[in-house]
Every structure is written in C-alpha cells, then in structure tokens.
Amino acid sequence: MLSYQVEAFGKPLAQVLRETPVPTGTEVVVKVGSCGVCHSDVHLHDGYFDLGGGNRLDMSRAMQLPRTLGHEIAGTVVALGPQATGVKIGDKRVVFPWIGCGQCSVCAGGQEHLCSNPQSLGVNRDGGFADHVIVPHPRVLLAYDPLSEAEACTLACSGLTAYSALRKVDNVGPTDPLLIIGAGGVGLSGIRLAREVLGVAPIVAEIDKSKWEMARSAGAADVIDPSAEGAGKALFKATGGGVAAAIDFVGAASSFAFGFGALRKAGKLVSVGLIGGATSIVPAMVSMRAVSIVGSYVGSLQELAELLDIARAGKLPPMPVSIRPLADASESLDALRAGRVHGRTILQP
C-alpha cells in the first residue's frame, strides 16, 4: 500500500509503503481511484487554523502523526470484513468521511459530522492520499453512478459543505438576492447548487478576477469585486437595501465583514470558510437589524445522499477539475496554499 503522509507539520509529505490493510469486523477496504485536495488539507498539513490576532487552533492533539490526509474519496471496494454487509467487492462508491463515534446523542440524531469524538477520514483516521483506504463501516459508502469518479469524490466535502450551507438558508425566495462569497472549490459548488436548492442565481463576490468566468459558467447572476472601493455600498443599493442571505465560503476577516455588512434587515449570514483571521461585530447592530449568524461545518450522511441524488439526476453544471498523480500530493497542497488552483485538484494513484 502506497500513501503520502504528514510526518511533521509543514514539511513535505512522506512517501510510505506498507502492507495493504486486512479488514476486520465491519471494515471495508476501498481501492482509491480519485481523492480531492481540499483547503482544509492545507490547514491540517500546516498543523493549525488561524484564529486571528496571533492566535491559532493547534491540531497536534486532534490529528496524531503520522497521518494520511485526504477526505474526498471515491474508489472500488476490494475487501470486506466478516461483518461488513450491504456492499460487495467491485462496487464503486464515494466515501462519507465525517464519521462520528456512533455512541453519543449527536450521532444518534444524524449529526455525526459534529461529534465530539470524531473518526473522520484524513483527520482522525488515515485518508485518501493513498492507493487504499480502510473504511470502518459500509453504511458510509454511497453509489455515485453515472457520475465520473473524479466528480463524485468532490461531493464528499466541497459539494456537501456547500449543500449543507445552502440548506441553512431558509429566508430566500425566488426574488430575494443571495450573496455567495468566494469562487474557490467550495464556493463553485455553492454557485452550482444555488439554483437547484434555493431557486435563485446568486451574486458572487470574488477578488480574483481570473475566477469570474468560472463563477458565471457555474450559474452566477453577477460577479463583483468585494475589495473595490464602494463595493459594499453599491451592492446595498443594487439589491434595494441588502441581500436576504450571504454565505461566506472564504472565512477571512474581510469576507465575513463584507457578508455581514451586505445583509438587509432580518438577513442571515452563513459562515463556512476556514481561511482565518478575526473581525469585530457590534452587538447592537445585530439586534437592531435583527440579523442572524449561523455556522456551517461540512454536512451529514443524509445530506450527502440527497446531494448525490441531485448530481446523479444531471442537475448540476460540471465542476472544473484538474487531475494530478498521487505523487504530486505535496505540490498540490503548495499550489492550493498559494492560490494557484481554480476548481478542484484530484489526485489519482
């Protein structure tokens, strides 16, 4: 079994050869065909998330090294533990990676992606930057045909994160303005899904103009530069007093502030991105404008099943992807860190 692992935070991934795992109990071994590279992989590789003001969320306790990254996984079932039922050898599946403990009330409520004792692939367990991955239970393996394997794997995080965030927007009708901030991998998924989930074409705020055409192709009604002078005031005027909802797929201090400032009264800001930083909020303005701020982190197994139904029905514009060999895992992380990736990079063994 070949894998590329984090052996020291911030250092190039190490190529590791070891015995291919033999599944026990309900475990399933999946031969990885495609694995997406996510921006959270960059943070995990660095070993921290930026909290702003010089503060960091240290990942050294949550992610024990060495660890194989990669949580957007699609491939083929090649081995089954004696208690693994519901799939068979040769089945092609996408893997739901946000696995919980299975014992707590959060997991019992169908929200295992928010479990306090997570078993997430690529974070708490070895993931898909490898040619094989061991999955703890077949219930997290979902069929994706007739989608391509490369497209299917992106739905496990990029697509799922966007879908779950859009589902939290409950105050947008067909004529209400929706703002999506960021046209990176997750943002593009949100743009692609907005019309299907909410029935509206979003306004997209993206500072990188090289991404504007992709945003339009994905379904944006308009694209603006949030860093341009007077951009917030112009958006507020053009929408007749602000947007009904804004979804921040960037998660920087500036993007959060722009989304919050763009809200109309009773508007909702859904915070998704994890780039980092901190910004201030005036509590009185939250109250006087009756706005709400909601966090959204990846999504549930049920939401992934719903998203796959939408995608398998052919209702989504294609996601721009670039295919790279698994050996380019470190270089792919560096390219994403430097902002050189448009769409999604897919690693294939």
Domain ranges of the chain: 2-157+299-348, 169-295
Superfamily of domain 169-295: NAD(P)-binding Rossmann-like Domain (3.40.50.720)
Give SS3 for 39.
helix
- List, for residues 96-119, the tens digit of each pLDDT value: 999 999 999 999 999 999 999 999
Compare 53 and 108 and report the one with higher pLDDT. Answer: 108
What mean pLDDT comes out for the span 69-83?
98
Closest by CA to 154, choosing from 30, 5, 323, is 323
Which percentage of the chain shows pLDDT scores above 90? 97
Q: How confident is the model at residue 227 (pLDDT cuts 50, 70, 90)?
A: very high
The residue whose two tokens read 């974070």 is 123
**Is the bond leading into 320 cis (omega within 30 degrees of zero)?**
no
57 DSSP β-pair partners: 49
- List, for residues 200-213, the tens digit of each pLDDT value: 999 999 999 999 99
Rounded distance, CA 335 to CA 347, Å?
13
Tokens linked to 231: 């951009």
What residue type is 233 in one-letter code?
K
What mean pLDDT comes out for the span 14-35?
97
Q: How confident is the model at residue 61 (pLDDT cuts 50, 70, 90)?
A: confident
CATH T-level assignment (fold) for domain 2-157+299-348: Quinone Oxidoreductase; Chain A, domain 1 (3.90.180)
- Give me the pLDDT at residue 318, please: 85
Long-range contacts from 284-293, C-beta under 8 angstroms, 24+ separation: 289/263, 289/265, 290/265, 290/266, 291/260, 291/263, 291/265, 291/266, 291/267, 292/267, 292/268, 293/260, 293/268, 293/269
Rounded distance, CA 275 to CA 43, Å?
9
pTM of the model: 0.96
| CA 142 to each of CA 114, 120, 254, 330: distance values in angstroms, whole numbers, following the listed order | 20, 16, 37, 28
Tokens linked to 285: 């303005």
Weakest mean pLDDT among 50-54, 140-144, 258-262, 345-349: 50-54
Give SS3 for 23.
coil
- Give me the pLDDT at residue 249, please: 98
- Give me the pLDDT at residue 349, please: 95
- Answer whether residue 81 shows pLDDT above 90: yes
- Give me the pLDDT at residue 60, please: 87
Tokens linked to 69: 């990254």
